[in-house]
A and B are shown apart, each in its own frame.
Chain A
Amino acid sequence: MSLRNPLELLVLASSVDDPAARPSAPAADQIEACRRGDRAALEAVFRAHAEPLARLLTRIVGPSVDAEDLLQDTFAAAIPAFRRFRGEASVKTWLHRIAINVAHQHLRRPRHRREVALSDPETVARDAEPTSGPELRELTQRLYRHLGALDAAKRIAFVLYAIEEYTVDEIAVLTGASRAATKSRIFWARRALLRRMRRDPQLAEGERR
């Protein structure tokens, strides 16, 4: 399958992260109600944060996983944890931390470490996730196959850094790791990922500007 001009395809298909669409911070009384386990308050907070959390989860785990399941796991983990929420971080940051933990647990499950030979185009094509076109699907799948070779913690740190564009300090907070550990993870993840990607002839196009 041809991968001519994949970048243009991607640019066309890119979603725009609209800051205006981001959820507003819940009021103090709403947080207090969440701590008490008030279902209406929990639902309101979760619904407000559902979309950014789903986006984060999707970008970490890739196209072949149902983000709705992980989102549900995130909320299920957040409900009892709300009783211990002290408000030191924003609700958004706190929920993102939980989502990252959920994604981490998901990525550590053995079936997600299975490798598919990239030389088997039929396998890749069968495994593709519909997005907006077969070339884009194949490319996305191929890129996530490379990402899938990374250790879960390194993969998450790298995605947060290179895709979500968090700073190292922010990633350290979100993942509960030290700054040094976070920098190390990003470094080794990028190195391993680029080594794999350089060997992939399908990703060699466009090297010359």
Chain B
Amino acid sequence: MSCRRVRDWLHRDVESLDETQRLILEDHLAACERCRGDRHRLRLLRRAATALPVAPAGSREYGRAVARALLEDSGRPVPAPPRRWFGPAVALAAVALAGVAGVVLTRGGRFRAPPAEPPAEPIAARAPADHLLGPPAASPSPPSPSPSASPPSPTPSPSPSPSNAIADAPGAPDIIERGALIDRARRLTAGAAVPADTVLRAAEPTRARLASFRVEIAASSELRWVPAERMVVLSRGTLDIDAGADGPARLVTEHFEVEIEDAAVTVDPAAVRVARGVVQIVDRSHRPLARVAAGTAWRPSPAPGKSTHRPSGAAAASGAAAASSAAAASSATPPASELLARARSQLAAGDATGAQRSAQSVLALAPSDSDEAEARMFLAEVAHASGALDLAVERYLAIAARFGALPAGESALYAAARIELRRSRASAARALLTRYLARYPAGRYADDARRELATLP
């Protein structure tokens, strides 16, 4: 009998063969040593493969993979028909998600927005408000790396006006400096001109120079640039604008407009956060709504045109107001354990904004070491899930350095090594894995770390 006839049955269990097949196979195996050996090897392989460990349904690994995939998608250009201008308010959930990616990814850029509410540390409380109300010297100095380092301004700000803006519009080129914008089906990358009066979508975190100011655009954000009015119309997503003193910029959303001169702000349809200087917020009929200073945020109320609980109005958010607002917020804050549980479920559900906010709320409570370590792990995971890998590694390593005696410290060090492995940075991965093994020779990931070290070139 031919070996060929039985080769398709060799890997199968006898029980899965019908009676005829089984008899033919048994007859053949009794006479053919090679097929007996092959049958043994193939069954060995099958049993080895089916014995590989797989996490049970509902495991945290699966929730994490789902959450990361959903987050990854939030930063992807969607090949859909153009959205209606000023999309519906229900899109705010997606916008908020894109917003956190933008805030995380623009960290280390020209300026950094203050954290989402509640702020862990109100920036305005650290500097007298009168230092923040005016612009700095006439020349547009480079923006400071952090809001708290903003130079104090000796003179009051001239009130910005749209007519001024048109007259002052310089002939500076409008170009993409980093990232990519999608103009219908066209992908515009670094060095390309930013087309005017066209709906553009950020394919990835993108930086552009428009007239004399810079914008950082979170992935998936949609905007239109109107150079004649030095105006950016934001319909979706998050935008950071850093404008100098040589002419105001206007940022228009569905419900409000922000007039920006010598200031840096982060704007999404749900909030305005000021990182430097002072901005004026008006409604779509140009009625003043608020003046908002560095370190504070303003949010439109559900009824458009009214600001919410954040510092606003002519008082322009003094440090005391910000502090009292933070205190009021903290008095209603749930305990750390509840916030951590909330962050956990939010992260598993892909709600990075919520997870980040919950983790920051924990940090604002002066938590225990273990709670703080866990909260910081959530912040690192949010950065990781958002694709901000440098930031994620930085956060993991900070946790490992500070909480090395806790389980979170061990996990953080290994997580940092895994990121370096995944992005093929062999030397960094080797250094971190070696450090992990030196510190935790019998640790939870020691076997994995040894195996991964062995596979590195």
Nearest CB on B from A191, distance (A):
9
Whether A47 lies near B66 (C-beta < 8 A) is yes
**Given known A10-B47, A14-B50, A59-B52, contact A165–B12 (CB-CB < 8 A):** yes
Whether B349 lies near A43 (C-beta < 8 A) is yes
**Any chain A CB within 8 A of the CB of B440?**
no
Count B-side interface residues using an 8 Å CB cutoff: 55
* Distance between Cα atoms of A126 and B41 in the complex (Å): 23
On chain B, the residues within 8 Å of A128 by CB distance are 451
Contact of A80 among B62, B64, B73 (CB under 8 A): B73
Contact of A76 among B36, B72, B349 (CB under 8 A): B72
Interface 9-mer from A25-33, A86-94, A170-178, A198-206: A198-206
**Any chain A CB within 8 A of the CB of B455?**
yes
Nearest-neighbor residue (CB-CB) of A191 within chain B: B7
**Given known A71-B65, A72-B68, A76-B72, contact A209–B36 (CB-CB < 8 A):** yes
**Any chain B CB within 8 A of the CB of A50?**
yes
* Distance between Cα atoms of A73 and B197 in the complex (Å): 36
On chain B, the residues within 8 Å of A42 by CB distance are 66, 70
* Distance between Cα atoms of A11 and B43 in the complex (Å): 10
On chain A, the residues within 8 Å of B53 by CB distance are 15, 58, 131
Interface centre among B33, B59, B454 (most CB of A within 10 A): B454
Task: Give the contacts of A9-68 with B (CB-CB under 8 A).
Answer: 10-11, 13-15, 17, 21, 37, 39-40, 42-43, 46-47, 50-51, 54-55, 58-59, 62-64, 66-68
Contact of A54 among B11, B40, B54, B73 (CB under 8 A): B54
Q: Count A-B pairs with CB separation below 8 Å.
A: 171
Interface centre among B36, B61, B63, B69 (most CB of A within 10 A): B69
* Distance between Cα atoms of A121 and B59 in the complex (Å): 34
Whether B63 lies near A47 (C-beta < 8 A) is yes
**Any chain B CB within 8 A of the CB of A192?**
no
On chain B, the residues within 8 Å of A40 by CB distance are 349
Nearest-neighbor residue (CB-CB) of A7 within chain B: B44
Contact of B454 among A37, A127, A131, A140 (CB under 8 A): A127
Whether B44 lies near A15 (C-beta < 8 A) is no
* Distance between Cα atoms of A127 and B50 in the complex (Å): 19
Whether B54 lies near A15 (C-beta < 8 A) is yes
**Any chain A CB within 8 A of the CB of B328?**
no
Contact of B57 among A10, A21, A63, A143 (CB under 8 A): A21
Task: Give the contacts of B23-44 with A (CB-CB under 8 A).
Answer: 29, 33-34, 36-38, 40-44
**Any chain A CB within 8 A of the CB of B83?**
no
**Any chain A CB within 8 A of the CB of B48?**
yes
Contact of A131 among B29, B37, B51, B59 (CB under 8 A): B51
On chain A, the residues within 8 Å of B73 by CB distance are 37, 76, 79-80
**Any chain A CB within 8 A of the CB of B55?**
yes
**Any chain B CB within 8 A of the CB of A162?**
yes
Whether B41 lies near A11 (C-beta < 8 A) is no
Nearest CB on A from B150, distance (A):
37
Interface centre among B45, B53, B56 (most CB of A within 10 A): B45
On chain A, the residues within 8 Å of B309 by CB distance are none
Nearest CB on B from A184, distance (A):
14
**Any chain A CB within 8 A of the CB of B450?**
yes
* Distance between Cα atoms of A64 and B451 in the complex (Å): 8
Count A-side interface residues using an 8 Å CB cutoff: 71
Whether A143 lies near B48 (C-beta < 8 A) is yes
Whether B55 lies near A54 (C-beta < 8 A) is yes
**Any chain B CB within 8 A of the CB of A152?**
no
Nearest-neighbor residue (CB-CB) of A123 within chain B: B454
On chain B, the residues within 8 Å of A76 by CB distance are 68-69, 72-73
Nearest CB on A from B400, distance (A):
20
Whether A68 lies near B61 (C-beta < 8 A) is yes
Task: Give the contacts of A108-163 with B (CB-CB under 8 A).
Answer: 123, 126-132, 136, 139-140, 143-144, 146-147, 159, 161-163
Whether B48 lies near A126 (C-beta < 8 A) is no
On chain B, the residues within 8 Å of A11 by CB distance are 47
Whether B51 lies near A14 (C-beta < 8 A) is yes
Whether A162 lies near B42 (C-beta < 8 A) is yes
**Any chain A CB within 8 A of the CB of B439?**
no
Whether A43 lies near B66 (C-beta < 8 A) is yes
Chain A residues within 8 Å of B, Cβ to Cβ: 6-7, 10-11, 13-15, 17, 21, 37, 39-40, 42-43, 46-47, 50-51, 54-55, 58-59, 62-64, 66-69, 71-76, 78-80, 83, 123, 126-132, 136, 139-140, 143-144, 146-147, 159, 161-163, 165, 190, 193-194, 197-198, 203-209
Further contacts, 13 of them, CB under 8 A, given A39-B70, A198-B37: A6-B44, A7-B44, A47-B62, A51-B56, A59-B50, A59-B52, A79-B73, A126-B454, A130-B448, A140-B48, A162-B45, A163-B45, A190-B7
A-B contact pairs, 25 of them (CB 8 A): A7-B43, A46-B62, A46-B65, A46-B66, A50-B65, A51-B57, A54-B55, A58-B54, A59-B50, A59-B52, A64-B455, A74-B69, A75-B65, A75-B70, A83-B80, A123-B454, A126-B454, A128-B451, A140-B52, A147-B45, A163-B45, A165-B16, A194-B38, A206-B44, A207-B36
